[in-house]
Structure 1
């Protein structure tokens, strides 16, 4: 990554994580493999969902990793971009939907 805020993910850092907590690391890796395996949803679809979610959570490591995994699963650039647009709509929609909380406070405050 070119952004200095986030260190580049390296094999050495991954190894250090494994050394610090090997049982949790192994459990997380096993969980991840099960989650992203073909099932009712294809691995490709799951990776497209992951790319969209990564954009909503704004995790640069997840965006990069799941984009690569989606491409390996056969996703196209167009499918990836469409997934990002779905994420953008959901994030904007959530902000809009939560306006009901603001309106409720306004209503109670002015009554």
Structure 2
């Protein structure tokens, strides 16, 4: 994520934590590597990284859960 260390309303550490979480959801091993290293350099702990990843996973799983309505609607529709 170019420019993540630039000044803004979010700290560089928080931006890298977000980047690591998103990298896990998009399943980009290169991004996970780069942003994990950047987060560590910015002072993030393993616990912070783990929590960010778990929050992202929970949000992503929410999408799968809410789409169960599609399955319910589709199941048996062609009978």
Q: TM class by shorter-chain length? A: 0.7 to 0.9
The Cα of 1:103 is off from its aligned counterpart by 2.1
Higher Cα Rg: structure 1 or 2? 1
The Cα of 1:38 is off from its aligned counterpart by 2.9
How big is the alpha-carbon RMSD for the aligned residues of Structure 1 and Structure 2? 2.0
More helix by percentage: 1
Gaps of 5+ in 1: 1-30
Which of 40, 59, 70 pairs up with 1:101?
A: 70
Provide, for residues 46-102 of structure 1, a one-character-per-residue CA deviation record: whole Å limited to 9, x for no partner: 100000000001110000100000011111111001011112212221111111222
The alignment covers a number of residue pairs equal to: 78
Gaps of 5+ in 2: none
Q: TM-score, normalised by structure 1?
A: 0.62
Q: TM-score, normalised by structure 2?
A: 0.85
Matches within 5 A, 1:49-64: 49-64=18-33
Find runs of 4+ consecutive structure 1 residues off by over 6 angstroms.
none
Which one has more relative contact order, counting CA pairs under 8 Å at least 6 apart? 2
For 2:45 and 2:14, locate their aligned partners in 1 and report how far apart those are by CA, in whole Å. Answer: 11
